[in-house]
Structure formats: structure tokens, C-alpha cells
């Protein structure tokens, strides 16, 4: 018997879908938490369509996975193609406690990507809607994301994200 280790408990997705109904996707796809064996099913290949991944060995992948799972604030969510078992898309919800807002929990969406061969099937919409619902289940007071300029209207159209006047500066230092 193969033991599948997920980065978070899949049951929380059922709670998320009680708040907001699941976005319709074809029956041959499944939304679920990242599993440790997804290294073999193209997770990093899909992620490399978003940004540079670099050389991440299986050993390094397992180290990162274990740290993220132990931390408990990473909700890496994938869409699996059930016909091929390959990862078709991925997005991450990251949460952090704050001293502000009564010690509230803030959520941020990162690393949204759908494999080129699966685009145009609303998989990105399904992923982001799932993370939006998940942030509600977790009682987050705010959900944010950073995206490139060409994606702003997409996030506004499908999810009601808004640019906050006077608060839309994104500064970066890369090392």
C-alpha cells in the first residue's frame, strides 16, 4: 500500500467548498493538496512555466516539503489530471499571524500556474477560487496577491480583488 503524504489535511477543502461551491472543472481533474510524491508527477515542471525553479533534487524537494508541512502555514494546492496522474496546475496560499487586527491571520496567494497544455479550461480560476474559499475557512482577515500588470484585470474580474488606492506599491530586493 502506498502512503500519500499531503502538505495539509485534504478535509479542509471540503469545508472550503461548503462556503463557496467548487468551481466547475472537468471530471478528469481533481483539486487537492500537494503530495510529497508529486515530485514524480511534474510539479516542478509546471512551476517552471511560471518562474525559474533551479536545480531542486528529490532530496531537496523532500526537505522543503517537510519544512512547509511542519510550519503549517503553507497550503500548496494542485490540480491533478486523473488520466495521466500529472500535475496540471498549482497555487499556494500562505498564511501568517499578525499582531495587528486582533492577532488576525493574513493570507497571500502565490505561485499560480497552469501547465501550458491545460490552459483555457478554467483551471486557474478553480485554483484561485479554492484558495479564496480556503482563506475564509481559516478566518483570514485579508487575502492579497502580487501579480504582473497584465493579470490585474483577470484577478479583478473573476475574484473581486481590488487595487487599494495609495497602498498598491510592491517593492522588491532580490538577492
Which CATH number goes with the domain that contains 37? 3.40.630.30
Provide the 10 A C-beta neighbour count for residue 104.
14
Does the residue 171 lie in any domain? no
CB 127 within 8 A of CB 90: yes
Q: Which domain holds residue 83?
A: 11-159
Mean pLDDT of all residues belonging to the chain? 92
**6 assigned to some structural domain:** no
Residue 85 lies in a domain: yes
Query: Pick the residue with more confidence: 95 or 153?
Result: 95
Residue 102 within any structural domain of the chain: yes
Number of domains present in the structure of the chain: 1
| 153 touches 111 (CB < 8 A) | no
- The pTM of this model reads 0.92
What secondary structure letter does DSSP report for 141?
E
The answer to whether position 151 is within a domain reads yes
Query: What interhelical angle do 11-19 and 123-137 show, nearest 10?
Result: 90
Q: Is residue 139 part of a domain?
A: yes
Is 148 inside any structural domain?
A: yes
pLDDT tens for each residue of 63-120: 999 999 999 999 999 999 999 999 999 999 999 999 999 999 999 999 999 999 999 9
Amino acid at each position: 500500500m502506498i502512503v500519500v503524504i499531503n502538505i495539509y489535511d485534504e478535509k479542509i477543502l471540503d469545508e472550503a467548498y461548503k462556503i463557496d461551491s467548487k468551481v466547475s472543472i472537468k471530471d478528469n481533474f481533481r483539486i487537492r493538496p500537494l503530495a510529497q510524491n508529486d515530485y514524480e508527477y511534474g510539479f516542478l515542471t509546471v512551476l517552471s512555466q511560471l518562474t525559474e525553479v533551479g536545480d531542486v533534487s528529490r532530496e531537496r524537494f523532500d526537505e522543503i516539503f517537510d519544512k512547509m508541512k511542519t510550519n503549517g502555514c503553507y497550503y500548496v494546492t494542485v490540480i491533478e489530471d486523473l488520466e495521466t496522474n500529472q500535475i496540471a496546475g498549482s497555487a499556494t496560499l500562505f498564511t501568517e499571524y499578525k499582531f495587528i487586527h486582533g492577532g488576525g491571520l493574513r493570507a497571500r496567494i502565490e505561485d499560480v500556474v497552469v501547465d501550458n497544455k491545460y490552459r483555457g479550461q478554467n483551471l486557474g480560476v478553480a485554483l484561485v477560487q479554492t484558495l479564496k474559499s480556503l482563506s475564509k475557512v481559516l478566518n483570514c482577515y485579508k487575502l492579497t496577491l502580487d501579480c504582473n500588470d497584465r493579470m490585474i484585470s483577470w484577478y479583478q474580474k473573476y475574484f473581486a480583488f481590488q487595487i487599494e488606492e495609495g497602498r498598491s506599491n510592491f517593492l522588491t530586493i532580490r538577492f
